[in-house]
Chain A
């Protein structure tokens, strides 16, 4: 009976684990829903602002505003990495970290000085363990990022770009294709790429003059780009966690099935053996 009892104990433990993973799956599902709502709600603002900015790209503005400068060559670049604060979400964080490392290596191979800014405990722990210099980091951004969080992240990098200390800023974050697919991606945040579809604002009464207006709108635009990435990242994290917890729950279920089968077999073997012993004992008496 010893072996059967051992199996019974394992079944109980796996069942408890399954209870936990299932709960985590349910929590992630409800958080995912809210994170997706936030993602959708953030869209009109950044779309409208982006369009506005494009329509303001009057010729000659590059010289006038430091944030619009287009560096001829990239000497120093910043990589802004967004990761989650918590694990249990499959390869989500690992993918983001790998993407950031690839980008850093690529830049360094091209002879570009790099600096790394990190949001999220997972990315921070990894790079700190690797002994890499980290320019700035925060772990204070929760499940519901705010525009202020985004502002706090982008402000120092934006200032460095404006003063000419940086020539490019890359943002590494998860793209939310669907709850099941959240691949990492890198986007160039600064310099702001000129668009071909620029529309002139000549028809507009603009107050204050465009150069000053752009100077005020651009920082907001950058913040909204980062905010959007933060919100998307948060949704991606929950999506990845839900997927990971779902497969953990499924695996636990399968494990329980297999264990139950071997428990039944062990019990049956025990019974068979006992019967054989009884029959054997009776036969010996005759």
Chain B
């Protein structure tokens, strides 16, 4: 199983983050969702809260996001957020 997945965090205005991630925890509309490499195709609405990402180097990054959708497909995670605050 692949140990990394490609993550893109995009807002209407720009691409906020693009890179590899080991795992992430996202605030979905109905609760927290954890995504690991090899996750099944998945589509969900997002609520608001921190999007926590374990990046390739093992460093933990968090983005404050609110609203939007997340799509997971063949190890590619696309977060389309209405708003992202770097934190």
Q: Report A-chain residues with C-beta under 8 Å of the C-beta of B10.
A: 44-45, 48
Main secondary structure of the interface of A (DSSP, over half): helix
Is A160 located at the chain interface by the 8 A CB criterion? Answer: no
Report B-chain residues with C-beta under 8 Å of the C-beta of A283.
none
State A201–B12 Cα separation when bound (angstroms): 23
Residues of A near B30 (CB, < 8 A) are 207-208
Nearest CB of chain A from residue B66's CB, rounded to whole Å = 12
Return chain A residues, CB-CB under 8 Å to B14: 41-42
**What chain B residues lie within 8 Å of A205 (beta carbons)?**
40-43
Question: Judging by beta carbons under 8 Å apart, are A44 and B8 in contact?
Answer: yes
B13 touches A42 (CB 8 A): yes
Give the chain A neighbours of B42 by CB distance below 8 A: 204-207
Interface centre among A44, A206, A227 (most CB of B within 10 A): A44
Instruction: Spot the interface stretch: A96-104, A135-143, A213-221, A264-272.
Output: A213-221
Contacts of A42 in B (CB 8 A): 12-14
Residues of chain B within 8 A (CB-CB) of A189 are none
Contact of A146 among B13, B41, B44, B73 (CB under 8 A): B13
Give the number of A-B contacts (CB < 8 Å): 70
A223 and B12 in contact, given A206-B43, A207-B43 (Cβ under 8 angstroms): yes
B12 and A46 within 8 A (CB): yes
Contact partners of A146 in chain B: CB under 8 A:
13
How far apart sit A227 and B14, CA to CA, in the bound complex (Å)?
12
Q: Which residues of B contact A207 (CB under 8 A)?
A: 28-30, 42-45
Contact partner of A45 (CB less than 8 A), chosen from B12, B28, B29, B73, is: B12
- Give per-residue flags for A179-211: 1 if the beta carbon is below 8 A from chain B beta carbons, else 0: 000000000000000000000010111111000
By a CB distance below 8 angstroms, the chain B residues around A147 are 11-13, 82
B49 to chain A minimum Cβ distance, whole angstroms, is 16
Q: Mark B31-67, 1 if CB is under 8 A from A, else 0.
A: 0000000001111110000000000000000000000
Chain B residues whose CB sits within 8 angstroms of the CB of A213 once the complex forms: 43, 45, 69
Size bracket of the A interface = 20 to 34
Q: Does B78 contact A (CB under 8 A)?
A: yes
* Nearest CB in chain B to that of A206: its residue: B43
Question: Interface on A for B, CB 8 Å cutoff?
Answer: 38, 41-42, 44-46, 48-49, 52, 146-147, 150, 201, 203-208, 213, 216-217, 220, 223-224, 227
A-B contact sample (15 more), CB < 8 A, given A146-B13, A203-B41:
A41-B13, A41-B15, A42-B14, A45-B80, A48-B80, A49-B80, A52-B80, A147-B82, A204-B41, A205-B43, A206-B43, A208-B44, A213-B43, A216-B69, A220-B69
Which B residues form the contact surface with A (CB < 8 A)? 8, 10-15, 28-30, 40-45, 68-69, 71, 73, 78, 80, 82
A-B contact pairs, 19 of them (CB 8 A): A38-B13, A41-B14, A44-B8, A45-B15, A46-B12, A52-B71, A147-B11, A147-B13, A203-B41, A205-B40, A206-B43, A207-B45, A213-B43, A213-B69, A216-B45, A217-B69, A220-B80, A224-B12, A227-B12
